[in-house]
Amino acid sequence: MMTCKQASKLISQSLDRPLSWSELMRLKLHLMICNACSRFKKQLNLLRVALHNIRTNIENDSAITLPLAAKARIIDQIEADQQSQ
Ligand SMILES: [Zn+2]
């Protein structure tokens, strides 16, 4: 049986790459019996959507009058955070 540590690692990786069939099956099995990892997966997905929305808003909202350099720094930071997950 997969440990929570292995499961959370796979959940994080699944945001960046497609999981193999066997990884997916082992992860699904773990998620069926583990509430903590199911919650972690949900929260990670919500966070990803939220970060995407923030990024889109910053890029598109003309009411945000940050200097372009500041906008670019914020977007860079969001991307760096996403990659470090
Ligand atoms: Zn777990």
Note the pLDDT tens digit of each residue in 35-64.
999 999 999 989 989 988 888 887 787 776
Residue 60 is part of which domain span?
A: 4-84
- Cα(16) to centroid of ligand 1, in Å? 20
Residue 26's nearest CA partner among 39, 15, 17, 14 is 14
Rounded-to-integer distance, Cα 75 and Cα 63, Å? 17
- The residue among 82 and 27 whose pLDDT is bigger is 27
- Cα(17) to centroid of ligand 1, in Å? 20
- Cα(23) to centroid of ligand 1, in Å? 14
The pLDDT confidence band at residue 11, using thresholds 50, 70 and 90, is very high
Domain count, the chain: 1
Rounded-to-integer distance, Cα 52 and Cα 67, Å? 20
